[in-house]
Amino acid sequence: MKIAFLDRSTIGPSVHISKPTFPHDWVEYDNTSPEEVLEKLHGVQICITNKVPLSTDVLKQLPDLKLICIAATGYDKVDIATCDELGIVVSNVRGYAVNTVPEHAFALIFALRRSLVGYREDVINGEWQKSGKFCFFNHPIKDLAGSRLGIIGSGTLGKGTARIGEALGMDVVFAERKGATEVRVGYTAWQEVITTSDVISLHTPLTPETRGIISTPEFEAMPQKPIVINTSRGGLVDEAALVQALDKQQIAAAGFDVLTTEPPQEDNPLLSILERPNVIVTPHVAWASEEAMQTLWDQLISHMESFQKGTPTNAVGRKGS
């Protein structure tokens, strides 16, 4: 059994890269370009990939490939329909980020709600020293207790974020689907969430239905001037509209860990406002606590072991039904 890991550099160096217990040949690469995939997977039975795409054309030229282990929950980089057609099992990882993503979301929320970035910069720039006072009030500071947290997406990560918000005394509501004609039990109408939330946090997959789910009409309907947080997927929020909303003071602040294109291109509108104290952009690291990455890797190894025994786990596509 030959196993190839196509993009080792996407997993932090602190992670212990254990290996399956069954006999195998192991090869790993720091990075793999799309043009190198075919060569690197020649004769390989198990492929591990995080962000390296596996297209229909490539998959059809890999007759030995039997299992693809995705080092992530999202599997949009792999053509699942072709894998089903060819009998290739695709397994993803789930639940590993249940603590790290909600904690990162609240790190952004705390920093922005209390203007930590602005005050830190003031101290660095000598404003406190020059003020002659024990404190000053250059930036707004607001408590989270008693404020409303609107969550878009009610999966594991949305619920984990909700638990933290509730523990802090926030009024937590889950948004019903945009455009829904009925509101399910346990949800709040989309428009009410948009118009009444002090903090809006996104935790939903990127699909054709959710792409650009927050854009100019939503920003114009936000009288609470909320903080907008996205630790889910780039593309959920129209980034150009977000910058305009900040310029028009329709929202108070933005904390983003994900962007539409990663790494961002130079023309990404958010890159032009990174120095603002009410904007924080982190490089897609909400998932990447040391504990979460180790859990992710251990889960990948368990998928390989299960596959070898004839009982695939976390399979997606028809193989997962």
* SS3 of residue 59 by DSSP: helix
Active-site residues, by number, are 233, 262, 284
Residue type (1 letter), 127? E
Query: Omega of the bond prior to 263 within 30 degrees of 0, cis?
Result: yes
Q: How far is CA 193 from CA 109, 115, 143, 175, 181, in A?
A: 17, 23, 19, 6, 15
Residue the block writes with tokens 């930036």? 139
CB 50 within 8 A of CB 92: no
State how beta strands 315-316 and 89-91 pair: antiparallel
CB 149 within 8 A of CB 198: yes
State how beta strands 89-91 and 171-174 pair: unpaired
What φ, ψ does residue 270 adopt, rounded to 5°? -65, -30
List the strands of the sheet with 89-91, edge to edge: 25-28, 2-5, 46-49, 67-70, 89-91, 315-316
Helices marked H in the chain: 37-40, 56-59, 80-86, 100-113, 116-124, 127-131, 156-167, 190-196, 216-220, 239-247, 290-308
